Structure 1
Amino acid sequence: MSWLTTSNSVMYELAARNPNMTDLDRLTNLYWALCSVMRSEVPGDVVELGCNAGLTGVLLEMVLEAESPDRGLHLYDSFEGLPAPSSSDRYLREGDCKATESDVYAAFERWNLRPPEVHTGWFDTTLPQQLPDQVAFAYLDGDFYESILTSLTHVWPRLAVGGSVLVDDYCDREASPRAWDGLPGVKKACDEFFADTPVQARVLVGVGDLAFAEFRKAEA
């Protein structure tokens, strides 16, 4: 079976298993964004911040094994659920979205993939010391203002030129009228961080209520 056929069937299955976190719009955008970075030979590893039970990580690893198997995949999560929300956040509550490290390893074993590097703890503790020296692609799914701001603060300086950061739950209704606006702290954190930072940014769209943005590092 070809990689194309395999990846399509996997995306359908992942979307069916957890549609709230891994719907087809997210997965197809992630697939093409990561493939673009890999095929451009941007140096560095791949990271996911807020991996939950590892289903999105499964797709990331499949792309790596097909396109650039010498790269590492690093997944980060507290595995205690979400932290306390700030005044900029709503919808989700402290402790929501809880999963375990065992869930992650079981997902990778289910699809016969090499296990990722899993980093357990809050982002402000793990990211300063446990990020790869160079990052080619990052998927940020932290849900809350402080989590996204912390993620960008540590990931962006290590992102290689030409690399991409894909941010889930970034809602810009002007650019994507159907985007879900449940987690406004995400956009606020991104807009504040990039206010004085040169970046190539675009809002992505899907057939549903996808709220996604890509931030690509350009030449200084």
Structure 2
Amino acid sequence: MSAPEDTSGTGDATTSIGWGERLRTVKNLATRLGPILSKEMIHTLDASISYLETGRWLKSQGIVVPRRVESRVNVYDQLINALRDQPILYLEFGVWQGRSIRYWSERLRNPDSRFHGFDSFEGLPESWNMLFKKGLFSTNGQPPRIDDPRVEFFKGWFEETLPHYRPPPHSQLVINIDADLYSSTKFVLNALKSWIPVGTYIYFDEFCDRNHELRAFDEFLAETKMRFEVAAASRSLMYIAFRRVG
């Protein structure tokens, strides 16, 4: 009687070959579909992958998302309700027309709170993704007018203003990052890392972008070993606030 044929490992090899063939088919199909899709459609497809990656990344970090809320304002309100009576230092990176910094300053009335906005007011320093070109969000160099002496703007590129900035005394720090770009977000996080004690809130306005804000925060956590929990998040996780816990 002959010995049985040794087929150990052939299943994995067959699976590998089958997966490789399917991947080549997908690539071939993608290049044939590309010419009939608009730039906006491809941007939407790419963004969809970023939303998937955001969910995967949060799970990989062991970060649980609490009850989600409807909008950016609802995320703000959850933090504001927790911070209302404390002297806050609120730092905003990417001010544009000042809607967010105005919203926060109108609701946090402690006279010792400070609201500092950082922006060149000349728009994006480089193109962002496929649809947002360099210079978008420019206000022609003009900061918004807000009649609150606690509000101050630091005009210039982050790498010009942050190295010379010294935070005033405060009991609670809130960082609002609406810089959009990986390079800008990365610079801000690195510049602030020595000022971020346990209890600090960091809000991201475009978190579901795996190539930009998400990527920068992922690298920041890997480099600093800081631990965060989700303090508030919108349904899509685009608008999300983290609180340092360790």
* TM-score normalised by length of structure 1: 0.69
1:15 alignment partner in structure 2: none
> After the TM superposition, which segments of 4 or more aligned residues of structure 1 sit over 6 Å from their partners?
none
Specify the SS of the correspondent of 1:184: coil
1:168 alignment partner in structure 2: 205
Specify the SS of the correspondent of 2:71: helix
How big is each residue's C-alpha offset from its partner over 1:113-162, in whole Å with a ceiling of 9 and x where there is no partner?
44611100111111121241566111000000011111111223212331
Q: 2:73 aligns with which of 21, 27, 33?
A: 27
Rg comparison, structure with higher value: 2
RMSD of the TM alignment (CA)? Answer: 2.6
Q: 1:53 aligns with which of 83, 92, 97?
A: 97
The sequence identity of aligned pairs, in percent, is 25
Q: 2:134 aligns with which of 81, 88, 94?
A: 94
- Where do 5+ consecutive residues of structure 2 fail to align? 1-69
1:116 alignment partner in structure 2: 151
- Distance in 2 between residues matched to 1:162 and 1:63, nearest whole Å: 20
- Distance in 2 between residues matched to 1:164 and 1:132, nearest whole Å: 15
2:232 and 2:242 in contact (8 A); partners too: no
2:230 alignment partner in structure 1: 202
Matched letter for residue 199 of structure 1:
R
Instruction: Call closer, same or farther: CA 1:127–1:161 in 2, change over 3 Å.
Output: same
Specify the SS of the correspondent of 2:92: strand
1:69 offset after TM fit, Å? 2.2
- Distance in 2 between residues matched to 1:114 and 1:94, nearest whole Å: 32
1:37 and 1:163 in contact (8 A); partners too: no
- Distance in 2 between residues matched to 1:80 and 1:168, nearest whole Å: 19
Specify the SS of the correspondent of 1:198: coil
- Distance in 2 between residues matched to 1:46 and 1:186, nearest whole Å: 19
2:118 alignment partner in structure 1: 76
1:141 equivalenced with 2:168 (yes/no) = no
How big is each residue's C-alpha offset from its partner over 1:70-111, in whole Å with a ceiling of 9 and x where there is no partner?
11110010111001147xx44322101112564511xx24xx
1:47 and 1:75 in contact (8 A); partners too: yes
- Distance in 1 between residues matched to 2:237 and 2:218, nearest whole Å: 18
